[in-house]
Amino acid sequence: MIAQEQIHSLYGRDVFDRDGEKVGSIGEVWTDGAGQPTWASVRTGLFGMKESLVPLNDADLRGDGIVVPIPKAQIKDAPNIDAAHDEPLSGEEVDRLYQHYGMSWPDSYRAYQAGAEQARSNYPGPGEQAVDAGYRTGSADDAMTRSEERLTVDTQTEQAGRARLRKYVVTEQQQITVPVTHEEVRLEREPITEANREAAYSGPDITENEYEVTLHAERPVVTTEAVPVERVRLSKEAVTEQQTVAGEVRKERIEADLPDETRRTID
Residue 46 lies in a domain: yes
Residue 169 lies in a domain: no
Residue 65 lies in a domain: yes
Nearest to 7 by CA among 211, 20, 32, 16: 32
Which neighbouring-strand residues pair with 53?
A: 41
Per-residue pLDDT tens for 175-187? 999 999 999 999 9
Q: What DSSP letter does each residue of 197-248 carry, written as one string? A: HHHHTTS-SS----------B-------------------------------
pLDDT at position 123, please? Answer: 43
| Mean pLDDT split into 10-residue runs, the chain, 267 residues | 85 92 90 82 71 89 92 89 66 85 64 42 40 49 74 88 92 93 92 87 80 93 92 91 90 82 73
Residue 75 lies in a domain: yes
Residue 88 lies in a domain: yes
The CATH number given to whatever domain includes residue 96 is 3.90.50.10
Nearest to 129 by CA among 109, 102, 149: 109
- Find the length of the chain: 267
Residue 198 lies in a domain: no
pLDDT at position 43, please? Answer: 87
CA 27, CA 75: separation in Å to the nearest integer? 14
Query: What predicted TM-score, i.e. pTM, was given to this entire model?
Result: 0.43
Domain count, the chain: 1
- Enclosing domain of residue 127: 4-145
Per-residue pLDDT tens for 48-80? 467 889 999 889 999 889 999 999 999 989 887
pLDDT at position 112, please? Answer: 44
Question: For 107, phi and psi rounded to 5 degrees?
Answer: -65, -45
pLDDT at position 253, please? Answer: 86
Residue 191 lies in a domain: no
pLDDT at position 49, please? Answer: 62
Question: How is residue 14 annotated by DSSP?
Answer: E
pLDDT at position 179, please? Answer: 95
Residue 129 lies in a domain: yes
